[in-house]
Protein backbone atom coordinates (compact mmCIF):
# COMPACT_ATOMS: atom_id res chain seq x y z
CA UNK A 1 0.00 0.00 0.00
CA UNK A 2 2.59 2.57 1.10
CA UNK A 3 4.83 1.92 -1.91
CA UNK A 4 1.88 2.26 -4.28
CA UNK A 5 0.67 5.40 -2.49
CA UNK A 6 4.07 7.12 -2.75
CA UNK A 7 4.91 5.97 -6.30
CA UNK A 8 1.50 6.95 -7.71
CA UNK A 9 1.78 10.30 -5.92
CA UNK A 10 5.20 10.95 -7.46
CA UNK A 11 3.94 10.04 -10.91
CA UNK A 12 0.95 12.32 -10.29
CA UNK A 13 3.30 15.17 -9.36
CA UNK A 14 4.90 14.97 -12.83
CA UNK A 15 1.53 14.34 -14.46
CA UNK A 16 0.15 17.50 -12.84
CA UNK A 17 3.18 19.56 -13.86
CA UNK A 18 2.65 18.37 -17.43
CA UNK A 19 -0.99 19.51 -17.26
CA UNK A 20 0.31 23.03 -16.57
CA UNK A 21 2.41 23.07 -19.75
CA UNK A 22 1.11 24.96 -22.77
CA UNK A 23 -0.03 21.89 -24.75
CA UNK A 24 -2.07 20.43 -21.88
CA UNK A 25 -3.19 23.56 -20.05
CA UNK A 26 -6.48 23.87 -21.97
CA UNK A 27 -7.59 20.52 -20.57
CA UNK A 28 -6.74 21.51 -17.00
CA UNK A 29 -7.43 25.25 -16.73
CA UNK A 30 -11.14 24.75 -15.98
CA UNK A 31 -10.12 23.21 -12.65
CA UNK A 32 -8.42 26.51 -11.78
CA UNK A 33 -11.49 28.69 -12.33
CA UNK A 34 -12.98 27.97 -8.91
CA UNK A 35 -13.00 31.11 -6.77
CA UNK A 36 -13.25 29.24 -3.48
CA UNK A 37 -11.80 26.08 -2.05
CA UNK A 38 -14.55 23.53 -1.54
CA UNK A 39 -15.45 20.01 -2.63
CA UNK A 40 -16.89 21.38 -5.87
CA UNK A 41 -13.42 22.62 -6.82
CA UNK A 42 -12.23 19.00 -6.66
CA UNK A 43 -14.54 17.87 -9.43
CA UNK A 44 -14.40 21.03 -11.55
CA UNK A 45 -12.79 19.52 -14.63
CA UNK A 46 -13.40 18.98 -18.29
CA UNK A 47 -14.87 15.72 -19.46
CA UNK A 48 -11.44 14.75 -20.81
CA UNK A 49 -9.24 15.57 -17.83
CA UNK A 50 -9.88 12.35 -15.92
CA UNK A 51 -8.38 10.30 -18.72
CA UNK A 52 -5.03 11.99 -18.16
CA UNK A 53 -4.59 11.71 -14.39
CA UNK A 54 -2.42 8.78 -13.43
CA UNK A 55 -3.87 8.17 -9.98
CA UNK A 56 -7.21 7.27 -11.58
CA UNK A 57 -6.01 4.78 -14.15
CA UNK A 58 -2.81 3.75 -12.34
CA UNK A 59 -4.73 2.35 -9.39
CA UNK A 60 -7.41 0.88 -11.68
CA UNK A 61 -4.75 -1.07 -13.59
CA UNK A 62 -3.40 -2.41 -10.28
CA UNK A 63 -6.86 -3.49 -9.16
CA UNK A 64 -7.55 -5.45 -12.34
CA UNK A 65 -4.12 -6.93 -13.06
CA UNK A 66 -2.76 -7.94 -9.68
CA UNK A 67 -3.90 -10.69 -7.34
CA UNK A 68 -4.33 -8.48 -4.29
CA UNK A 69 -6.39 -5.41 -5.14
CA UNK A 70 -6.69 -4.17 -1.54
CA UNK A 71 -3.58 -1.92 -1.54
CA UNK A 72 -4.72 -0.19 -4.73
CA UNK A 73 -8.28 0.25 -3.52
CA UNK A 74 -7.02 1.62 -0.19
CA UNK A 75 -4.58 3.95 -1.96
CA UNK A 76 -7.26 5.24 -4.35
CA UNK A 77 -9.71 5.71 -1.47
CA UNK A 78 -7.19 7.59 0.66
CA UNK A 79 -6.23 9.78 -2.32
CA UNK A 80 -9.91 10.58 -2.98
CA UNK A 81 -10.44 11.52 0.68
CA UNK A 82 -7.30 13.66 0.74
CA UNK A 83 -8.38 15.29 -2.53
CA UNK A 84 -11.68 16.37 -0.96
CA UNK A 85 -9.83 17.64 2.12
CA UNK A 86 -7.14 19.41 0.06
CA UNK A 87 -9.82 21.36 -1.82
CA UNK A 88 -11.60 22.37 1.39
CA UNK A 89 -10.96 24.99 4.04
CA UNK A 90 -10.93 22.44 6.86
CA UNK A 91 -8.12 23.16 9.37
CA UNK A 92 -6.67 25.95 7.22
CA UNK A 93 -6.71 28.59 9.96
CA UNK A 94 -4.91 26.52 12.56
CA UNK A 95 -1.25 27.35 11.91
CA UNK A 96 0.12 24.72 14.33
CA UNK A 97 -1.91 21.91 12.76
CA UNK A 98 -1.03 23.07 9.24
CA UNK A 99 2.67 23.23 10.05
CA UNK A 100 2.62 19.80 11.67
CA UNK A 101 0.80 18.18 8.74
CA UNK A 102 2.91 19.95 6.14
CA UNK A 103 6.35 19.83 7.74
CA UNK A 104 6.27 16.61 9.76
CA UNK A 105 3.93 14.40 7.73
CA UNK A 106 4.69 16.05 4.35
CA UNK A 107 0.99 16.24 3.52
CA UNK A 108 -0.24 18.75 0.96
CA UNK A 109 -2.59 20.73 3.18
CA UNK A 110 -5.60 22.75 2.02
CA UNK A 111 -3.65 25.90 2.85
CA UNK A 112 -0.69 24.82 0.69
CA UNK A 113 -2.96 23.73 -2.12
CA UNK A 114 -4.93 26.98 -2.03
CA UNK A 115 -1.77 28.71 -3.30
CA UNK A 116 -1.86 26.40 -6.31
CA UNK A 117 -5.36 27.77 -7.01
CA UNK A 118 -4.34 31.41 -6.55
CA UNK A 119 -4.82 33.74 -9.50
CA UNK A 120 -1.08 34.47 -9.48
CA UNK A 121 0.81 32.71 -12.27
CA UNK A 122 3.77 32.14 -9.94
CA UNK A 123 1.73 30.29 -7.33
CA UNK A 124 -0.44 28.42 -9.86
CA UNK A 125 2.79 26.80 -11.01
CA UNK A 126 3.66 25.55 -7.54
CA UNK A 127 2.43 22.87 -5.12
CA UNK A 128 1.64 20.27 -7.78
CA UNK A 129 1.59 17.32 -5.38
CA UNK A 130 -1.64 15.51 -4.69
CA UNK A 131 -1.14 13.91 -1.30
CA UNK A 132 2.46 14.67 -0.40
CA UNK A 133 4.39 17.92 -0.64
CA UNK A 134 7.79 16.25 -0.49
CA UNK A 135 8.08 16.09 -4.28
CA UNK A 136 7.40 19.81 -4.59
CA UNK A 137 10.08 20.42 -1.98
CA UNK A 138 12.46 18.06 -3.79
CA UNK A 139 11.94 19.77 -7.16
CA UNK A 140 11.72 23.30 -5.73
CA UNK A 141 8.11 23.92 -6.75
CA UNK A 142 6.83 24.16 -3.19
CA UNK A 143 5.34 27.48 -2.08
CA UNK A 144 4.30 28.25 1.47
CA UNK A 145 3.11 31.30 3.33
CA UNK A 146 1.51 32.00 6.68
CA UNK A 147 -1.16 33.92 4.78
CA UNK A 148 -3.81 32.69 2.40
CA UNK A 149 -4.04 33.83 -1.21
CA UNK A 150 -6.21 36.91 -1.51
CA UNK A 151 -7.85 35.89 -4.78
CA UNK A 152 -8.52 32.34 -5.95
CA UNK A 153 -9.41 31.23 -9.44
CA UNK A 154 -8.38 32.18 -12.93
CA UNK A 155 -10.84 34.05 -15.13
CA UNK A 156 -12.19 32.02 -18.03
CA UNK A 157 -14.99 33.44 -20.13
CA UNK A 158 -16.61 30.41 -21.74
CA UNK A 159 -20.01 28.83 -21.58
CA UNK A 160 -20.49 25.92 -19.18
CA UNK A 161 -20.84 23.44 -22.06
CA UNK A 162 -17.67 24.69 -23.72
CA UNK A 163 -15.75 24.47 -20.41
CA UNK A 164 -16.82 20.88 -19.89
CA UNK A 165 -16.69 19.53 -23.44
CA UNK A 166 -14.46 21.75 -25.60
CA UNK A 167 -12.12 23.92 -23.50
CA UNK A 168 -9.45 24.05 -26.22
Q: Write the pLDDT tens digit of every residue in 133-149.
A: 999 999 999 998 877 77
**How far is residue 81's CA from residue 98's CA, in Å, rounded to a whole number?**
17
pTM of the model: 0.84
Smallest CA-to-CA distance from 142 within 126, 166, 161 is with 126
2-50: per-residue pLDDT in tens?
888 899 999 999 999 999 998 888 888 888 888 888 887 777 777 777 7
**Which residues sit opposite 132 in a β-bridge?**
107
Q: How many CB atoms lie within 10 A of CB 20?
A: 17
Amino acid sequence: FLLNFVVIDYLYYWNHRLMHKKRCWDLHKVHHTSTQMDVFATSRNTLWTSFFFIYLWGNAIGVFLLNDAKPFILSATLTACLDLWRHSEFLTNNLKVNNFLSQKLFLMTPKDHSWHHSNSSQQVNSNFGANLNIFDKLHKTYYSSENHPIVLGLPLSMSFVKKILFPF
